[in-house]
Amino acid sequence: MIFSCGDVDEIKKLEDRIAELENKKENKDEGSFSKVITLEMIDDEYTEKGDFKNKRVSAFSSYVVSDIDINDGKKILCFFDSGSEHCEDAAKSLTQLSNSISNFPEMHIIFSDLEEDRIPEFFRYAGRKYSYQVLPFYNDDDKINSYIEILGYQYGNPAVIYLEDGNQMRFYDGIGANAFKAMEFKKLFE
């Protein structure tokens, strides 16, 4: 398992699990020998149950303000401009896919503030209102706190990111060779 500084909750859970296993060992062994409990032992146990298996903390998670935990299960994170036809079409395609796929992931959209007033129209076109937030397009400061800085200067709209347990499984961006392709995306869920 790989942990980053943002995994405080996961580390706390592991510490609690270590304490639980130590208590079981003490009760079972009654002090007959000392046994070292390692993270590998816990990892094996959790892997058998399906918990924490290959779980990561997405680099985007500290910027997402939502009830949706993008590090838990299958999720879709989008970076859209509400005034972009390409973004509208990608959102509409995602809505159509969500209507045809029973286990379709929850989705969160990060909009830039360039055409914030068009967000209601964007959702009407898409056919559904999704969890979303609005960020300034760019802030002239030393922090990474704007749409373009979080997405990355090298990526274009629309950006559709498919995550499984925080792991980036697919990253579509722009309107060129790496553009969002609904049929290709659908195959990920078949």
Q: What distance in Å separates the CA atoms of residue 135 and residue 62, rounded to the nearest whole number?
A: 13
Pairing between strand 74-80 and 106-112?
Answer: parallel
> What's the domain count of the chain?
2
What is the pTM for the complete model shown?
0.71
pLDDT band at 24 (very low <50, low <70, confident <90, very high): low
Q: Please give the residue range of the domain that contains residue 137.
A: 74-189
Whether residue 177 sits in one domain with residue 97: yes
Share of the chain above pLDDT 90, in %: 62
Whether residue 87 sits in one domain with residue 21: no
Residue 58 belongs to some domain of the structure = no
- Model confidence pLDDT, tens digit, residues 1-15: 444 444 556 666 666
Residue 62 belongs to some domain of the structure = no
- The letter for the amino acid at 41 is M
pLDDT of residue 42: 39
Token representation of residue 158: 């629309």
pLDDT of residue 7: 56
CA separation, residue 24 to residues 17, 27, 32, 51, 173 (Å): 11, 5, 13, 20, 50
Whether residue 39 sits in one domain with residue 96: no
Indicate whether 120 pLDDT > 90.
Answer: yes
Residue 1 belongs to some domain of the structure = no
Whether residue 118 sits in one domain with residue 81: yes
- Model confidence pLDDT, tens digit, residues 128-186: 999 999 999 999 998 888 999 999 999 999 999 999 999 999 999 999 999 999 999 99
